[in-house]
Amino acid sequence: MREVKRFLHAGDLVEVRSAADIRATLDLDGCLDGLPFMPEMVKHCGQRFRVAYRALKTCVDGHPEYMREVCSSDIVFLEGLRCTGEHHSECARGCLLLWKSDWLRNVNNGAAPVPEGIDATEAKLLIDSLPTVDQKGDFFCQSTRMAHITKRLSKFRRIMMCFREVAVGNIGPLRMIKQVASTACWKIYGLLIGTNPKGRLSRTPCEVLDLQPGEMVEVKSYSEIVATLDSNGCNRGLLFGMDMRLSCGRRFKVARRLEQMICEDSGKMRPVKNTVVLEGVTCQCIFALGGCPRKEPAYWREIWLKRVSHVSPVSK
């Protein structure tokens, strides 16, 4: 029998429950209410983290309704916890992990004992019970199930969702007002200029810098990047989004190389060339009313970047 739920809010301190406790909540597909608990999450059992956001809505790649409402009201994101992909053939997408409240224990009162760590035997039992591919042989993870754990978000619900985001503590009222105003400005800009930069090339170029984690780079100017795009705003299939323009001329460290990633809409692994992820640069969802808490990493072609210095790269 489940405990009476207390909805978690941003800033709450929680402890990930034991592997045995979590395994007891899962069905034969390794899911709770349709949300998979993935093998990459097991290493966090017994550890404590802060709640970053309640997951009320999220973007869904490849879906006609890009922004959708999360069906369950007890899912949260924890600060800094992203999928590392080691149990999904080294997928480097780096999605934020979603957590059901049943997998967490609120320790805000400070009375809980210090976590004792993870039981290796229980952890292995849990990992071995969690599927990573479906019956068709496609990858199975939280990302590929995103369309199944969300529902249509009507225009009216999008507006009401802004009030709800404030009510649950995901964002302050003044910041929400600024975000809504910013979205309105971007939408007007998009109507006048277009939602994404457009190039003129039919065949786009590539550049091989072989950037490594820890190296410092500078994002090229907007005009330099547009010169590498086709009429769809892509370089070799990768879109340069309007919000990425905000990073032009700025310097960042390379977080990791993007060699391959699981496509959210198909579950297929897609190889990626000459592309990196930069530290702290995520999708801003500038056209989504109220923003998006998922904060997907922005992916950068090396041809859009300039190496600033040969900083000693972080070992892989």
Of 193 and 19, the one with more pLDDT? 19
Query: What would the 3-class secondary structure string for 264-304 be?
Result: CCCCCEEECCCEEEEEEEECCCCCCCCCCCCCCEEEEEHHH
How far apart are alpha carbons 301 and 316 in whole angstroms?
Answer: 20
Give the chain's mean pLDDT. Answer: 92
Q: Which of 33-42, 86-95, 204-213, 290-299 shows the lowest per-residue confidence on average (mean pLDDT)?
A: 290-299
316, pLDDT greater than 50: no
Note the pTM of the prediction, 2 decimals: 0.90
Looking at residue 148, its pLDDT comes to 96
- Please, which residues have CB within 8 angstroms of residue 4's CB and are 6 or more apart in sequence? none
Looking at residue 195, its pLDDT comes to 78
193-230: pLDDT as tens digits: 877 889 999 999 999 999 999 999 999 999 999 999 99
**247 phi/psi in degrees, rounded to 5:** -95, -5
How far apart are alpha carbons 241 and 232 in whole angstroms?
Answer: 11
91, pLDDT greater than 50: yes
Looking at residue 311, its pLDDT comes to 53
Looking at residue 114, its pLDDT comes to 55
Beta bridge partners of 301: 275
Span 279-298, average pLDDT: 91
178, 291 Cβ separation under 8 angstroms: no
105-127: pLDDT as tens digits: 999 765 555 556 678 999 999 99
146-197: pLDDT as tens digits: 999 999 999 999 999 999 999 999 999 999 999 999 999 998 988 888 778 8
How far apart are alpha carbons 129 and 127 in whole angstroms?
Answer: 5
Q: Which residue has the tokens 């999008």?
A: 158
- Per cent of the chain over pLDDT 70 is 93
- CA 247 from centre of chain: 19
